[in-house]
Amino acid sequence: MASAEVYVFHDTSPIPLPLPLNSPGRPLHRIQAVRDQQGMSLRTAARQLGIDVRAVRAQEQPSTDLRVSDLYRWQQVLDVPAADLLEESSEPLSRPVAERAKMVRVMKTAATLLETAESPASRRMAENLVQQLCDVMPELKEISPWHTVGQRRSLEELGRAAEQVIDDSSMYGSDAYE
């Protein structure tokens, strides 16, 4: 009779999560501030980085010591100079990054107006606004509108549907209990 040894390897995280440095008071980067300023969601950042939201949250912590390759990936996703992601002092973000963030917010608003326009005149005006913004900054074509549904719930929160009582007879018919 033959026998075989089986080895099972299980890794729950395909990408290693960076660990915060020992000195929590010293910020190393301002990735979260730049992402927030540009109006990019955690989910969008995770999708563009190819990692899960938990890893994005870990990388965004100002005291997290990122690899240079991770920093460059963030630079590409946020479309900013790498120097603007590094924490040098308490200075605000550079002027080009701040202006781009403002343009992204204006484009999100214009895209929302276009998406929700009810009259042909409003739609035409929103289309012109979107086109003019794209003429000024072509990369804005990829910007999505603001979310129209409220803020997403965490896993611990329940919606209104969970509070409603459902009568079992409606699911099985009224004579199911007789």
| Average pLDDT of span 13-22 | 47
The answer to whether position 73 is within a domain reads yes
Tally of domains within the chain: 2
The more confident residue out of 60 and 8 is 60
**pLDDT of 163 higher than 80:** no
The answer to whether position 163 is within a domain reads no
- Residue 8 has a pLDDT of 42
Domain region containing 35: 18-88
Which segment of 10-14, 22-26, 131-135, 149-153 scores lowest on mean pLDDT?
10-14
Let me know whether 80 and 121 are in one domain. Answer: no
Let me know whether 29 and 81 are in one domain. Answer: yes
Let me know whether 81 and 105 are in one domain. Answer: no
Let me know whether 66 and 29 are in one domain. Answer: yes
Confidence grade of residue 160 (pLDDT, cut at 50, 70, 90): low
Let me know whether 44 and 81 are in one domain. Answer: yes
Instruction: Please state the pTM of the whole predicted model.
Output: 0.45
What is the chain's percent helix, strand, coil content, to nearest 5?
50, 0, 45
Let me know whether 62 and 104 are in one domain. Answer: no
| Average pLDDT of span 159-167 | 64
Let me know whether 57 and 72 are in one domain. Answer: yes
The answer to whether position 111 is within a domain reads yes
Tokens of 56: 């994005």
- Residue 125 has a pLDDT of 95
Let me know whether 29 and 84 are in one domain. Answer: yes
Ramachandran class of 142: left when φ > 0, alpha when ψ lies in -120 to 50, beta otherwise: alpha
Let me know whether 81 and 37 are in one domain. Answer: yes
Let me know whether 124 and 100 are in one domain. Answer: yes
